Amino acid sequence: MITREKVLEAVKSMPKEFSIDDLMDKLLLLNKIEIGIGQANKDESYTSEEAKKMIQEWSK
């Protein structure tokens, strides 16, 4: 889950004028990064080799 502080930091880093779509894109990206970090911390991720093997299997 994303924190209020990270949301405020994201808004402060935006240019003076921006679209809601731009802000939503940035917030969605931050949320996905937080989810990924959480998964990595719980060992719910794949090694590069595992990912390459999966991609090769999917490509058949």
User: Which residue ranges make up each domain of the chain?
Assistant: 4-58
Of the pLDDT bands very low, low, confident and very high (cuts 50, 70, 90), residue 1 is confident
- Averaged over 26-32, what is the pLDDT? 96
Residue 16 has pLDDT above 90, yes or no: yes
Please state, rounded to an integer, the average pLDDT across all residues of the chain: 94
- Averaged over 24-43, what is the pLDDT? 95
Residues shown for the chain = 60
Phi-psi region of 43 (alpha: psi -120 to 50; beta: other; left: phi over 0): left
Contact 27, 11 (CB under 8 A): no
- Record the pTM: 0.72
Torsion on CA atoms 29, 45, 3, 14, rounded to nearest 10: -20
